[in-house]
Structure 1
């Protein structure tokens, strides 16, 4: 007859307790399918995946079959949910036009606007898509990349959104007229390889009272702007792996190309763990490469993407 050592029993209790907590956290995130506020839990899906892998390995080592089965099922659910937004398109044509795009939330309380300016001027982007430029960034945005063209989301001295472009661009009026408007800036860009439409967005968190209405406004503009080719980029406040982001992708018919890139928080002495900044594109575009860019003094990291547009598809 064999007896379980006290140490093994303690380890088993600890593993089961942590596994129960992890599974409960995953279940809360699954509730985001129906209740937007619960979708917040999916912000931590990446570290939860790692934890579930460790727990499964320990359960197998201790021959704890019930915990191993439950952990394996939870790991499968988490892995499938995590893998969904990771699928990106990649350019396969050589006879195409390239575009370097940077999206950056500048942060209203950015204490280093001059650092932000130097950062933006050293990225080599063709298009810079900025959010929260009505905060401290307003001191430098007008002087950033002085040879570039720019449009803003309002006619006042400072605006919440700004697009800066190497090529000429024209601001396009939004269709929505009644009630509060979504924070978005639409422009047509006249690039050497042809025109395309760009939408800069700063959406509310999905559990806010007006979130669904403002999201619907953005979707209406996307539907209206699918010709010419379209890019939608900015601070979505929809977390990678969340059900709210998946619903947006399905409704818009666009593809997220940045993959899993945590961008928030960037102002704390901890790694960013939440991906809420995204780049969505229509079918004419493909991603050559995307990267996380740091150094803007913001509470967000930026995302830089190199895109490719096939001239044959656009007719240019």
Structure 2
């Protein structure tokens, strides 16, 4: 029985280690990118298994494993650190109250969404999985958000932007069926671009080919720019890095557990960080956090983005 237990632990530890390593090779294949989304979960499982092995080994090996646990524990702590960006502003800097949210095509609590937008004093919002019923509700909110832009995506719903500030009508774009819509927004005396993005899951879906088809569109969005959306990818993923490179933006660092997988009330449940905000160099960030549940399997990401118009 003890031998069988040791074999099971060794096999589980090997499998977890292989999955972790492949996640760091995400640039080689979309499957590995999907695996990287669960990096923190796998690291916790790996630490738990190694801790068991510590109690089964002799002194010398035990000490080596303890040192390894301390190193990995420090790495996990680093990954879990919240955003701590340094903010340097000028006197003419203005703050935008921004929300990124995947509504979920099954969401029937749009009144809750409306009330939360009002409560948080959101000025610009990006949405994904906007169904025809959701769109009808958003149209009814035009008194508060008179400037809206939608773009057809997939069966789960479209992508959209809502704004209290006017759009520059001659600028903006919709890449139909590819999950990208963007608008040029007149904000005070300046202008900025806002994009709503919805990417497929990396593997076995068309995530990476979708990014390839969108790379030219990302490059054409004029700076300063905000690209927000459901990336279906972790912040350290190869997919997010590709979008950053194509759009000349940088993902807001830190872990924000934005998606529930499974029933939150059950034991079989986890969260992964796949909703992000990417900013060009003209922006700073005053605050960012995960909002409350609004009837979706995703949580809204609430941020205060600092815009400094070039002199």
Q: Tell me the TM-score range normalised by the shorter chain.
A: 0.7 to 0.9
CA RMSD of aligned residues (A): 3.6
3-state SS of 2:293 partner: coil
Task: Describe how 1:239-250 pairs up with structure 2 within 5 A.
Answer: 239-250=234-245
Residues 1:216 and 2:212 aligned together: yes
Residues 1:260 and 2:249 aligned together: no
Scaled by the length of structure 1, the TM-score of the pair is 0.79
Range 291-300 or range 40-49, more displaced:
40-49
Residues 1:293 and 2:288 aligned together: no
Distance in 2 separating the partners of 1:191 and 1:241: 31
| Displacement of 1:222 | 2.7
Q: How many residues align?
A: 300
| Displacement of 1:62 | 4.5
**Which residue of the other structure, out of 32, 45, 49, is the alignment partner of 2:26?**
32
Provide Cα deviations, 1:57-115, integer angstroms capped at 9, x if missing partner.
44445545668559939x759949x8499776431225221111101111111132322
Q: 1:93 aligns to what?
A: 89
Q: Could you tell me which runs of 5 or more consecutive residues in structure 1 were left unpaired when the two chains were aligned.
A: 1-5
Q: 1:206 aligns to what?
A: 202
Residues 1:310 and 2:308 aligned together: yes
3-state SS of 2:271 partner: coil
Q: 1:109 aligns to what?
A: 106
C-alpha change, 1:78 and 1:143, in structure 2 (3 Å) is: farther
8 Å contact kept, 2:218–2:246: no
Distance in 2 separating the partners of 1:13 and 1:150: 61
Scaled by the length of structure 2, the TM-score of the pair is 0.80
Range 248-257 or range 160-169, more displaced:
248-257
Range 249-258 or range 229-238, more displaced:
249-258
Task: Describe how 1:1-316 pairs up with structure 2 within 5 A.
Answer: 15-63=9-57, 72=68, 79=75, 83=79, 89-93=85-89, 95=91, 96-144=93-141, 146-154=143-151, 160-170=158-168, 172-174=171-173, 181-207=177-203, 210-227=206-223, 229-257=224-252, 259-265=254-260, 268-269=263-264, 272-311=270-309, 314-315=310-311
Report the structure, 1 or 2, having the larger strand content: 2
